[in-house]
Amino acid sequence: NAGVTQTPKFQVLKTGQSMTLQCAQDMNHEYMSWYRQDPGMGLRLIHYSVGAGITDQGEVPNGYNVSRSTTEDFPLRLLSAAPSQTSVYFCASSRLGGRALGADTQYFGPGTRLTVL
Amino acid sequence: AQKITQTQPGMFVQEKEAVTLDCTYDTSDPSYGLFWYKQPSSGEMIFLIYQGSYDQQNATEGRYSLNFQKARKSANLVISASQLGDSAMYFCAMSPISSGSARQLTFGSGTQLTVLP
């Protein structure tokens, strides 16, 4: 049981390049999400998904696309990288457990540190 | 809209002593969950403890306890018997709880805890 995995761990891009950050979970969680963490700040939600085929925008979605073709995978695509997207990106997953105690706790992957030059 | 406030950018505690990290929140959601995460210098986000707004008792997990005062809208983390390995950034977060909804976590800005030998 690997939990939430993310690849790559580090990436350097040039302005205008595109790339996909990979995220996978093996806990059969319905809910998956992407956050970014900028220096000295907490995490902010980019996109989320409540199940295969269903995605929606979070707080800071501009410049990013997502898709969810399977329960396990939730890739994040940067369409045309900009220096403002330099950040650490975290993927997280959880059950949609309703009112059960702690059922919707989100578990995070190790993060991807992205630098856009 | 939800808001988390952590007013202590940095805290110091002597090894083996207890420490309280403050967190206040604001939300219009009738049901919500409160979370604490630990982020060591290695960067991963580690889930520590969860408190549901409908829970009558304060949550405890080993050396961690959550002092939940709903009327004051506070959810302070108490770490007992601090250890050197507790030195890290600590984030308070919350999310709404309703069946099938997004579990958007709103984070505070964090408290950097340093445990002194």
A95-108 per-position pLDDT tens digit? 876 555 556 688 89
- Provide, as residue numbers in chain B, all residues whose Cβ is less than 8 Å from the Cβ of A105: 33, 35, 47, 50
pLDDT of residue A103: 60
A100 touches chain B (CB under 8 A): no
Whether residue A103 contacts residue A62, with contact meaning beta carbons closer than 8 Å, is answered with: no
pLDDT of residue B98: 63
Task: Tell me which of B103, B111, B112 to substitute to probe the interface with A (most A C-beta atoms closer than 10 Å).
Answer: B103
Residue A26 C-alpha, separation from nearest chain B C-alpha, in angstroms: 17
**Partner residue facing A88 (CB), from B43, B93, B95:** B43
pLDDT of residue A40: 77
pLDDT in 10s for each residue of chain B, 117 residues:
789 999 999 999 999 999 999 999 999 888 888 999 999 999 999 999 999 888 889 999 999 999 999 999 999 999 999 999 999 999 999 988 765 555 778 999 999 999 999
Reported in sequence order, the residue ranges of chain A that DSSP labels E, i.e. its strands, are 4-7, 10-13, 19-25, 31-37, 43-51, 54-57, 64-66, 76-78, 87-94, 107-108, 112-116
- Contact between chains at B45 and A108 (C-beta distance less than 8 A): yes
Angle at A97 between CA A70 and CA B65, to 5 degrees: 125
Three-state secondary-structure class, residue A24: strand
Tokens coding B5: 């406030």
Tokens coding B61: 């997990």
Task: Tell me which of B21, B42, B105, B109 to substitute to probe the interface with A (most A C-beta atoms closer than 10 Å).
Answer: B105
* Longest pairwise C-alpha distance within chain A: 45
Residue B90 C-alpha, separation from nearest chain A C-alpha, in angstroms: 10
**Partner residue facing B44 (CB), from A42, A98, A111:** A111
- What residues are paired with B3 via a beta bridge? B26
- Provide, as residue numbers in chain A, all residues whose Cβ is less than 8 Å from the Cβ of B107: 42-44
Residue B81 C-alpha, separation from nearest chain A C-alpha, in angstroms: 25
Nearest to A5 by CA among A115, A112, A116: A112
B12 touches chain A (CB under 8 A): no
